[in-house]
A and B are shown apart, each in its own frame.
Chain A
Amino acid sequence: MKKNMFVSAAFGVAAALIAGTAQAGTLDSVKQKGFLQCGSNTGLAGFGQPDAQGNWTGLDVEFCRAISSAIFNDPTKVKFTPLSAKDRFTALQSGEVDVLVRNTTWTISRDTSLGLNFTGVNYYDGQGFMVRKNLKVASALELNGASVCVQQGTTTELNLADYFRANKLQLKSVTFATSDETLKAYEAGRCDAFTTDASGLYAERLRLAQPDEHIVLPEIISKEPLGPAVRHGDDQWFDIVKWVLFAQLNAEELGVDSKNVDQMLKSDNPDIKRLLGTEGKFGEGLGLSNDWAYRVIKLVGNYGESFERTVGQGSPLKIKRGLNALWNKGGLQYAPPIR
């Protein structure tokens, strides 16, 4: 992992040198190509996965479609490049993809030495625990002496050890090479608890024989802010990707969604007017048309719609908004105003 980071970093420097001169205008090159090249997941429940017809769906996928809508007024002008965890950064640095929306955790090393800019957080994730209901445990702090099934060689394993040490709890971790094995072992009763990123816990729980006999504990023991990333050196593109997410968040806050957006065009609320481009020339500042946010909301929807459809109540995962609720509803999602 460390070596990978080093190679990626070296790559980043080389890529930045080349990219700095050759690829000043990502927006221009995207417009010229006629489509957005989006680095996506090779398959992650709720975030990016193909459906029965082979169409990509998921929260990250919808965000790529939102960017495409803002630029082309068409959510389908996206080509997805499925990337594994280890080549995602190289692909972005080398210019193979224009934007990386692949449940990537925002960290300082990635933001600096890898030459990336994170444009925001489209999902606040974090590591959580799943236990059997009949264990009668309501909090992770009651897991003293518990055995925990965890996938080895991941940050998850390190976070687990840190959390137990910090809270002076006895830990018996049982490690496995793959996530499948880990889940099987947990189901077979080899351990009391199962840990992975909270978004993954819900998907894994569905694979258990009796999903209802297991609960996800409320504690989140690590910070995993997942967000879209772009290359260093193109501020206009950075702004576009950043504000597409902010537009979706602002739309939810203002109660504008894909169904009522056309009526909202007639709204007297100045915030809505500025959002939808009936007042002001904010789209031009981004190098887009002034109805850029209208297109995003009309064609893809606001953040809440997207969330519920892909990972929330409208999906089999049924993840609660939690940290991803708007700031005025007890969550962390807060977008700067459009003005």
Chain B
Amino acid sequence: MTATDASSFPTPRTDPGPAYVSRATLQPSPPPASTVGPWAWMRTHLFTGPVNIALTIVIALLLAWAIPPLLRFLVIDAIWTGQNREACIYTPDRTVVGACWAFVTDRAAYFTYGSYPMAERWRVNVFFALLAIGVVWLLNLKAPRRDIGGIYFFVVLPIVSYILLVGAPWLGLRTVETNLWGGILVTIVCSAVGIVVSLPLGIILALGRRSTMPAAKLFSVIFIEFVRGVPLITVLFMASVMLPLFVPYEFQPDKLLRALIGIALFAAAYMAEVVRAGLQALPRGQYEGAMAMGLSYWQMMGLVILPQALKITIPNIVNTYIGLFKDTTLVVIVGIFDFLKTIEAARIDPTWGAPTVSATGYVYAAVFYFICCYLMSSYARGVEARLARADKR
């Protein structure tokens, strides 16, 4: 476009100026066709060189090979409704059977609540809702009054949840023994307790390990090394089988409580080492600077050292959390029915004895664990990005 014809512009200017001065801003010409659009994107990302081209082709073939059968199994041939195995077995009219989602919908309540009494399951729902509110309140930076949110999450929620889930006869909530708990409820309770308890405990242990006080240091080192040196299943097994040998029935702590304590202490030991790595990564100058300003030990840690150390270790902390979340399946060793175990127990039920039932159950478990872990890691990525802004200035 050449905008030199002045008469075509309704310009009010009386003085047209020199003829070689353009009367209007030139429209920018579009970028060359080779640098925009999907083709250009593909050229710069997928087909830059022989290696890249080969990789792209291999991956595309891999996807083409894997996705259609997966889709066919999970969606197209899947069976969505049914009452029992009849829905998911091969018949002369149905020679292809995909995922048996009817099994999952039939047993969804069991996968969520375990054997929690039917009439009391609303209490679990309320607990899930309260927990969700707490998590959103605490993790969403734009939420109002996050200080109250903190009190709610760390003080009110545990007490209310305990009353709700265990029961309180004086409130008209009948007691539900923990041996009836199961499914997602147990998985969430175990990981929530582990996650909430392990970080503060881990920080204290890490500080203890780097402390100059011999007693604190010795205790922390022994605790961390001992717990890390023993497999979690051993701790759980000892707690559930050895304890009854020495402690009379009336004084035995609840089985789930024993497992919760085991998991929390276990996670704390690992968390301590993660936090210690962060503490060690800080240059000495930070400590010396804080001390030179006359800060006390706790001020130094709380205002200068820990904020930096925890920031560095966020990927590792979340890593530990995700590991912990998945490790909660080990409570099955002591006969507690976590989410995965409820699937295990339901899939062998002859009522649902059909070829694809087991696979469907496992797919459901995989999806659940993936969603939970992915949410955790993507939130952590967001936090990292937000904190990294300070470094980019």
Residue ranges of A at the interface with B (Cβ–Cβ < 8 Å) = 14-15, 18, 22, 29, 33, 42-46, 49-56, 79-84, 87, 90-91, 94-96, 180, 202-203, 206-211, 315-317
Contacts and interface: CB of A to CB of B under 8 A. Distances in A.
B350 A87 contact: no
Nearest to B255: A81
B249 interface: yes
Contacts of A84: 333, 335
Interface string B170-209: 0000000101101000000000000000000000000000
17 contacts: A43-B348, A45-B350, A50-B345, A53-B109, A53-B110, A54-B109, A54-B115, A54-B116, A55-B115, A56-B115, A81-B335, A84-B335, A95-B245, A203-B353, A207-B353, A207-B355, A316-B353
Contacts of A50: 110, 114-115, 337, 342, 345-346, 349
Given A84-B335, A208-B355, 16 more contacts: A33-B249, A51-B110, A53-B110, A54-B113, A56-B115, A79-B177, A82-B335, A83-B335, A95-B244, A180-B358, A202-B350, A203-B348, A206-B353, A207-B358, A315-B350, A316-B351
Contacts of A96: 240-241, 244
B350 A54 contact: no
B174 to A, nearest CB: 14
Interface in B270-319: none
Contacts of B106: 52
Which of B106, B113, B342, B345 is most buried by chain A, counting CB atoms within 10 A of its CB? B345
B107 interface: yes
A202 B350 CA distance: 9
A44 B348 contact: yes
Contacts of B97: 209
Which of A14, A209, A317 is most buried by chain B, counting CB atoms within 10 A of its CB? A209
B268 interface: no
Contacts, number: 105
Contacts of B240: 96
A180 B118 CA distance: 32
A42 B179 contact: no
Contacts of A55: 115
B341 A42 contact: yes
Interface string B29-53: 0000000000000000000000000
Given A45-B348, A207-B354, A18 B237 contact: no
Given A50-B346, A95-B244, A207 B341 contact: no
Nearest to B182: A54
Contacts of A54: 109-110, 113-116, 180, 182
A24 to B, nearest CB: 14
A53 B118 contact: yes
B345 A206 contact: no
A230 B116 CA distance: 28
Interface in B39-80: none
A203 B358 CA distance: 13
Contact of B355 (A43, A81, A209): A209
9 closest A-B pairs by beta carbon, nearest first, are A206-B353, A54-B115, A43-B345, A316-B350, A82-B335, A96-B244, A45-B350, A94-B245, A94-B244
Contacts of A42: 332, 335, 341, 344-345
Contacts of B115: 50, 53-56
Given A96-B241, A203-B348, A52 B249 contact: no
Contact of B345 (A22, A49, A79, A317): A49
A18 B113 contact: no
B355 to A, nearest CB: 5
A81 to B, nearest CB: 6
A49 B358 CA distance: 15
Contacts of A206: 85, 350, 353-354
B232 interface: no
Interface string B150-188: 000000000000000000000000000101101000000
B324 interface: no
B357 interface: yes
Interface string B212-242: 0000000000000000000000000100111
A50 B325 CA distance: 24
Interface in B319-369: 332-333, 335, 337, 341-342, 344-346, 348-351, 353-355, 357-358
B122 interface: no
B241 A94 contact: yes
A93 to B, nearest CB: 8
B109 to A, nearest CB: 7
Contacts of A315: 350
Contacts of B245: 14-15, 18, 94-95
Contacts of A207: 353-355, 357-358
A159 B332 CA distance: 30
Contacts of A33: 249
Contacts of B374: none
Contacts of B110: 50-54
Contacts of B348: 43-45, 49, 203
Contacts of B335: 42, 81-84
A203 to B, nearest CB: 5
A207 B350 CA distance: 8
Contacts of B379: none
